């Protein structure tokens, strides 16, 4: 790669120092230094208007932080040119609606999701697990980020020094219901670890998917829950039910069965997928079920969710038809129907 002039040498680091760009790893000068908003500013304007409640993001240690404080170092070129082009495309598409977001190129969605997933974890390196204890360890370490090298490689697509074949990532776009409260109409979830799943719900549009599943999750499009969701305007609880199903399936994938091949040409690094080496999922793995994941996402007791058929039942009726869930019969009614604390 060095001999071919590729402007990305991952063995030289991942931009983990405070004086380096988190994308291209260039050393920052006073004239070139900027900060990247991991939750983009166009999104912040939607969710944090003046004199309105400010939504918060829960960190891995379950402490809250406002999106405007999630900032990481970047050079002007990566921030104001490469990533800006992606954010402009996403902002315009979100304004137009779910169909416009669905029509975006896979590469655009992949770079955007990769920036959010990597950027959130990179920001964790700046924060202590106990903000009141100056000796507490950081939420994330350099070793944690080094384990996300493949994600950092995919992020280089924004600079056009890495090219990835179509079908490397799997994304889903749905219509979602709104309640008119900016804090309530925003939701984000980014589980750590491969294949780097991301979910963002902003107003009438919900996007979720996996940055590096290498096409292994595409079959979810035809499953009853995801097929039903394509015909619904999703209640916030249904969004989290879908996320639970996605996360569960993502963690059943075996990365070692989905090999990649790399090539260097035209001053770029090219990534392609090889045929799967045997079954790509391992249902014998000891993982939480989708219903257990959903219980954590909505703080519900098992019997409350079981009464509604679990994660799938919140999206598909027993007859197999999509389950329309109006907001007025939404989250609060789940527990109320059984006289229990609602999730």
Instruction: Kindly report, residue by residue over 20-41, the tens digit of the pLDDT.
Output: 999 999 999 999 999 999 999 9
List the beta strands (DSSP E) in 148-225: 162-164, 170-176, 186-189, 197-202, 205-210
Residue 340, pLDDT score: 29
pLDDT by residue (tens digit) across 205-227?
Answer: 999 999 999 999 999 999 999 99
Tokens of 71: 């900032």
Q: What does the pLDDT read at residue 288?
A: 86
Token couple for 69: 């404080």
| Cα separation, 237 vs 331, whole angstroms | 6
pLDDT band at 299 (very low <50, low <70, confident <90, very high): confident
H/E stretch holding 53? none
pLDDT over 50 (residue 337): no
For residue 53, is pLDDT > 80? no
Q: For residue 135, give the 3-state DSSP assignment.
A: coil
Contacts of 8 (CB under 8 A, 6+ apart): 1, 24, 153, 156, 159, 161, 162, 269
Model pLDDT for residues 172-204, shown as the tens digit of each residue: 999 999 988 777 899 999 999 999 999 999 999
Predicted local confidence at residue 251, as pLDDT:
94
Least confident residue range of 112-116, 128-132, 254-258:
128-132
Question: pTM for the whole thing?
Answer: 0.93
123 touches 228 (CB < 8 A): no
* Average pLDDT in the chain: 92
More confident residue, 50 or 153: 153
């Amino acid at each position: 790669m060095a001999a071919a002039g590729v402007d990305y040498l991952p063995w030289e680091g991942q931009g983990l120092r405070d004086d380096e760009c988190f994308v291209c790893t260039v050393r920052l000068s006073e004239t070139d230094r900027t900060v990247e908003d991991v939750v983009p500013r166009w999104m912040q304007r939607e969710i944090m208007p003046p004199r309105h409640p400010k939504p918060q993001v829960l960190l891995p240690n379950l402490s809250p932080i406002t999106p405007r404080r999630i900032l990481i170092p970047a050079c002007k070129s990566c921030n104001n040119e490469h990533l800006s082009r992606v954010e402009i495309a996403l902002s315009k598409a979100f304004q137009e609606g779910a169909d416009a977001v669905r029509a975006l190129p896979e590469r655009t969605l992949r770079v955007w999701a990769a920036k959010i997933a990597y950027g959130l974890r990179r920001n964790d390196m700046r924060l202590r697990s106990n903000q009141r204890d100056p000796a507490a360890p950081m939420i994330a370490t350099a070793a944690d980020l080094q384990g996300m090298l493949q994600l950092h490689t995919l992020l280089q697509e924004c600079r056009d020094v890495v090219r990835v074949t179509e079908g490397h990532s799997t994304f889903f776009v749905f219509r979602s219901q709104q309640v008119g409260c900016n804090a309530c109409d925003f939701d984000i979830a980014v589980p750590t670890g491969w294949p780097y799943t991301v979910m963002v719900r902003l107003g009438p549009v919900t996007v979720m998917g996996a940055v590096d599943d290498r096409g292994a999750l595409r079959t979810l499009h035809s499953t009853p829950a995801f097929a039903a969701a394509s015909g619904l305007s999703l209640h916030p609880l249904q969004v989290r039910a879908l996320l639970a199903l996605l996360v569960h399936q993502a963690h059943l994938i075996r990365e070692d069965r989905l090999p990649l091949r790399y090539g260097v040409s035209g001053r770029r690094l090219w990534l392609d997928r090889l045929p799967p080496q045997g079954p790509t999922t391992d249902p014998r793995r000891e993982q939480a079920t989708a219903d257990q994941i959903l219980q954590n996402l909505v703080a519900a007791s098992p019997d409350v969710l079981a009464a509604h058929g679990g994660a799938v039942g919140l999206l598909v009726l027993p007859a197999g038809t999509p389950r329309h869930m109006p907001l007025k019969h939404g989250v609060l009614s789940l527990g109320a129907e059984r006289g229990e604390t609602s999730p």
